A and B are shown apart, each in its own frame.
Chain A
Amino acid sequence: MEPRSKSFYVLSVFFALFVLFLYGPTVTIGILSFQGPQGGLTFPMNGVSTYWFQDLFREQAVGDIWGAFRRSFGLGLMVMVTTVVVSVMSGLAFRKRFAGSGVLFYLAITSLVIPSILISLGVGLIFNQLGLRVHWATSGFGAQLTWTLPFGLLIMFAVFNRFDKSFEEAARDQGATAWQTLAHVVLPIIAPSLIGVALFGFTLSYDEFARTLLTAGSYNTLPLEIFGMTTNVTTPVIYALGTLTTVFSFLVIGVFLLTVWIMGKRRQRFGSDAGKGV
């Protein structure tokens, strides 16, 4: 191996600073959320305590954050499952040309780049004019899908661009039906990527703010609740909440990544189980 050039060290420092820039603020509020009861929004630390975390559990101190958390969690799961199923289906559809595929593709791209507030406003207006009540599980759910589905679709494009079609041909030559080929060959091979799609679906929904703003109705999701707090809460309790939800996000990401990793290990050990179930 050739020795490292000078630029490697310069770039390493740059990269380290970038990581510090990414995580520094998050770590800072993590530390500050352990402020003492008299502590303020910035350093110095006024003692160390878990006072602000306990504050989160006192009903009056903050709004209905646990209700908001439950709603966000439920909505995240709904969006996750829908995103995986719909992305796989449309990913499969796009492998062949069909009338209207071009239009649908550009619609998906539009969905990705359209300013979120337009979705929020438009969906809100439609529900309003139809006399329907906006609710996080109906209008909010649909509005969030316009953000997660294009991501899922793009991931499926990336997956199928790299997919070796000879596996399918082999299955077909052995007499597998189209359905058997899908269930026992294609899906097992792309399974790790589907975990990735699920991760996008859940986390993007769980953190979504702009598209839910006018579509969630009277029951807030967690990001809406947190944003509401920024205007009237001036104590470190907001840091404590931020720290908790970030830790929760890290746990979710960890579970997903661990699943992908374990799948990869199992595959190395046993080989793919594709084709075993006839």
Chain B
Amino acid sequence: MTRSVIGWVQAAPLALVLAGFLVAPIVMIVIVSFWGATEFSIYPAFQFDNYAFLFGSEVVWRVIGATFKYAAITWALTLVIGFTVAYYLAFHIRSQTVQIALFLVCTIPFWTSNIIRMISWIPFLGRNGIANSALIDWGVIDAPLEWLLYSDFSVILAFVHLYTLFMVVPIFNTMMRIDRSLIEAARDGGASGLQILRHVIIPLTKPGIMIGTIFVVTLVMGDFVTVRFMSGSQRANVGRLISNDIGLLQYPSAAATAVVLLATVLIVIGILLRFVNIRKEL
């Protein structure tokens, strides 16, 4: 009895913050999604207009499609890059000091500003940017490529740049906990390097891959800044629909879109969580 009380007291601050700034806002959004709006204000109501408009609009469906497209492509790229980097760090670096140092090199950008990391692509990708100048100097192209900046390409490039870290860290964490004798056993059994990778390392790394996937997919699906900034406002995802509505003070419509986005993300996470027990894997 007293034990349980101590537990509650210790957990109370977390519970209070989450109740006030997570649960209450979600409830509020769900409520407001049924409200109506005039040009200047919003008024309480119980109507399905916002949802009807949302699902009736072809543009919205296309934007939802684009959101999944960004998530899928970014996921595939961050997985391949993140896995390779984590594999190199975990299995090819022999000194622990070097390993920690290189791991920190990979994680430090995570603690710096995302917006500035996006801005820093401009001199690379612009019409007269480094990429175009270099390609022209090398004679690969004659005229500057227009699709480098403000396109799907630059959006996905920025996503990969910002979020590969979220793959590297959990995958590396899981790999470090793989019992090395399993790999020796496989080698003694005559497995080639590739077979060890496929039949030993990858299956044992799955929980890490799942956690990385959860991070990358939710970050990309919920994003609105990267798409806006890197596409020069020429591309849209669901997050941008919401932020556009907010800009126009159409809060009920923004709330309805937000509910759809949240439901989508939670369904995806729900499916992914069936494959991994997060608490055990930390």
Give chain A's interface residues, CB within 8 Å of chain B.
Answer: 1, 5, 7-8, 11-12, 14-15, 18-19, 21-26, 28-29, 32, 41-43, 85-87, 89-90, 92-94, 96-101, 104-105, 107-119, 121-123, 125-126, 129, 142-143, 145-146, 149, 153-154, 157-158, 161, 199-200, 203-204, 206-207, 209-210, 213-214, 223, 226-227, 230, 238-239, 242, 245-246, 249-250, 252-253, 257
* Contact present for B117 and A117 (CB under 8 Å): no
Which residue from A85, A107, A226, A227 sits with its C-beta under 8 Å from B23?
A107
- Give the residues in chain A near B282, CB-CB below 8 Å: 154, 157-158, 161
- Alpha-carbon gap, A118 to B265, bound state (A): 12
B19 to chain A: closest CB distance in Å?
8
Complex contact A253–B111 (CB within 8 A): yes
User: Do residues A118 and B261 form an inter-chain contact, with CB atoms below 8 A?
Assistant: yes
Q: Any chain A CB within 8 A of the CB of B112?
A: yes
B34 at the interface (CB under 8 A from A): no
Are the CB atoms of B123 and A145 closer together than 8 Å? no
Q: Which residues of A contact B239 (CB under 8 A)?
A: 115, 117
Closest chain-B Cβ to A6's Cβ sits at a distance in Å of 10
CB <8 Å contact, B265 and A114: yes
Q: Which residues of B contact A86 (CB under 8 A)?
A: 13-14, 17
Tell me if B242 is interfacial: C-beta within 8 Å of chain A: yes
Q: How far is the CA of A16 from the CA of B69 in the complex (A)?
A: 29
Q: List 28 A-B contacts (CB under 8 A).
A: A8-B92, A11-B87, A12-B92, A15-B85, A15-B89, A22-B105, A29-B116, A41-B126, A86-B17, A87-B14, A89-B10, A90-B13, A94-B11, A113-B215, A113-B269, A114-B265, A117-B222, A117-B224, A121-B251, A121-B255, A122-B28, A146-B17, A203-B112, A239-B119, A242-B119, A245-B113, A249-B112, A257-B104
* B56 within 8 Å of A (CB atoms): no
Q: Closest residue to B280 on the A side, CB-wise?
A: A161
Interface on chain A toward B: helix, strand, loop, or mixed SS? helix
| Interchain Cβ contacts within 8 Å, total number | 256
B88–A11 touching, CB < 8 Å: yes
The reply to whether A115 and B22 contact each other, CB–CB distance below 8 Å, is: no
By a CB distance below 8 angstroms, the chain B residues around A107 are 15, 18, 22-23
Size bracket of the B interface: 35 or more
Q: Are B21 and A123 in touch, CB under 8 angstroms?
A: yes
Interface string of B57-97 (1 = CB under 8 A from A): 00000000000000000000000010011011100101000
Which residue of chain A lies nearest to B261 when distances are taken between CB atoms in the complex? A115
Contact A210 to B224, CB < 8 A, known contacts A42-B123, A42-B130: yes
Compute how far the CA of A198 lies from the CA of B261 in the bound complex, rounded to whole angstroms: 31
User: Across the two chains, which residue of chain A brings its CB closest to B197?
Assistant: A7
- DSSP majority for the B interface? helix
Bound CA–CA A4/B70 (angstroms): 38
A61 to B121 CA separation, bound complex (whole angstroms): 23
Cα distance A98–B28 in the bound complex, in angstroms: 28
CB contacts (< 8 Å) of A14 on chain B: these are: 84-85, 88
Cβ B123 vs Cβ A41 within 8 A: yes
Task: Say whether B120 contacts A29, CB under 8 Å.
Answer: yes
CB <8 Å contact, B102 and A15? yes
> What chain B residues lie within 8 Å of A85 (beta carbons)?
13
Question: Are A253 and B108 in touch, CB under 8 angstroms?
Answer: yes
Chain B nearest Cβ from A189, distance in angstroms: 17
CB pair B120–A25 under 8 Å, yes or no, is yes
How long is the Cα–Cα vector from A224 to B211 in the complex, in angstroms? 29
B204 within 8 A of A: no
Chain B, residue nearest A91 (CB)? B10
Chain B residues with Cβ below 8 Å from A149 are 14, 17-18
- What are the residues of chain B within 8 A of A26 when measuring CB–CB? 109, 112, 116-117, 120
User: By the criterion CB–CB under 8 Å, are B246 and A142 in contact?
Assistant: no
> Which of A15, A113, A161 is close to B218, meaning CB atoms less than 8 Å apart?
A113
Q: Are B266 and A110 in contact (CB under 8 A)?
A: yes
Residues of B within 8 A of A25 (CB): 117, 120-121, 123-124, 161
